[in-house]
């Protein structure tokens, strides 16, 4: 597998103008390093998604990994599923991600049919799903499109089916928000990111990634039709929630 562990130094040198963040080939090359050094608990969340797939996938159903990037969650699920006739559909709208995801998946043998689609997740029909994963993807959608996506996921889930939604959070209390945000920045500093890298990345991503509060996510789950939902993980301002149909 080529180029998977290249160090992220995209924002290490001063830039004249910091453009909006895009998931292009430069990001794809360092993505594995970037996400591990930026998202506290990423590995725990990935392995728990694998475990949830083992326990909650249903025979003769489809699993969706929406915003699959390099396919890390897909791989974790594929390794764990023991049921008959389960297929995985992984979707990302970055062609560079999809190409690398395909390479990544080809590196591991599996009897589970896996389709990687390059498209906007808003265009994907969700049907006969026992598990849908949105692992740090919803935050990149236009806020006006989020409810309709979660509603379509609810409609497409089988009874007992699960949605796993991982997101960066904002907090309504500005004092707490500032403290927890600083804890996250200290996590990035401890992982070797400089002040320049942190501030240039922040400028690049602020128009692209618009984060919601936990209350907003819970309201949206309710509006979409879910009666059962709960955070199962939080570290600083990063959470993973589960909603059950």
Q: Which residues of this protein are in contact with ligand GEK, per CB under 6 A?
A: 23, 35, 67-69, 72-73, 91-94, 97, 120-122, 135-137, 140-141
Q: How far is the CB of 172 from ligand GEK (least distance, A)?
A: 22
Residue spans of alpha helices (H) in the chain: 25-38, 42-56, 72-80, 95-106, 143-156, 174-190, 195-205, 214-224
Position with the least CB separation from ligand GEK: 67
Q: How far is the CB of 229 from ligand GEK (least distance, A)?
A: 19
Nearest CB to ligand GEK, comparing residues 35 and 163:
35
Nearest CB to ligand GEK, comparing residues 100 and 245:
100
Nearest CB to ligand GEK, comparing residues 124 and 244:
124
Check: CB of residue 231 under 8 Å from CB of residue 165. Answer: no
Q: How far is the CB of 36 from ligand GEK (least distance, A)?
A: 10
Helix (H) or strand (E) holding 174: helix 174-190
Q: How far is the CB of 199 from ligand GEK (least distance, A)?
A: 18
What span, in angstroms and rounded, lies between the C-alpha atoms of 97 and 101?
6
Nearest CB to ligand GEK, comparing residues 12 and 160:
12
Q: How far is the CB of 244 from ligand GEK (least distance, A)?
A: 20
> What phi and psi values does residue 242 have, to the nearest 5 degrees?
-125, 140
What span, in angstroms and rounded, lies between the C-alpha atoms of 122 and 29?
25
Q: Which two tokens stand for residue 153?
A: 């996921």
What span, in angstroms and rounded, lies between the C-alpha atoms of 80 and 47?
10
Which residues on adjacent β-strands are paired with residue 157? 129
Nearest CB to ligand GEK, comparing residues 146 and 245:
146
């Amino acid at each position: 597998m080529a180029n998977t562990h290249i160090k992220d130094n995209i924002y290490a040198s001063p830039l004249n103008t910091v453009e909006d963040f895009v998931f292009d080939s430069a990001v794809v090359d360092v993505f594995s390093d970037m996400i591990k050094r930026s998202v506290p608990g990423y590995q725990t969340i990935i392995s728990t998604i694998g475990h949830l797939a083992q326990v909650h996938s249903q025979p003769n159903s489809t699993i969706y990994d929406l915003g699959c990037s390099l396919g890390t969650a897909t791989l974790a699920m594929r390794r764990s599923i023991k049921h008959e006739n389960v297929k995985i559909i992984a979707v990302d709208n970055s062609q560079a991600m999809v190409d690398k995801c395909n390479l990544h998946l080809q590196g591991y043998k599996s009897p589970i049919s896996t389709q990687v689609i390059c498209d906007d997740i808003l265009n994907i029909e969700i049907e006969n799903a026992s598990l849908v994963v949105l692992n740090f993807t919803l935050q990149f959608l236009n806020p006006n499109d989020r409810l309709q996506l979660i509603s379509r996921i609810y409609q497409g889930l089988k009874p007992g089916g699960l949605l796993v939604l991982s997101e960066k959070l904002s907090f309504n209390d500005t004092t707490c928000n500032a403290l927890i945000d600083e804890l996250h920045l200290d996590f990035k500093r401890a992982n070797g990111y400089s002040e320049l890298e942190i501030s240039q990345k922040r400028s690049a991503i602020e128009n692209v990634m618009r984060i919601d509060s936990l209350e907003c996510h819970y309201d949206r789950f309710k509006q979409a039709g879910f009666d059962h939902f709960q955070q199962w993980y939080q570290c600083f301002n990063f959470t993973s929630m589960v909603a059950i149909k």
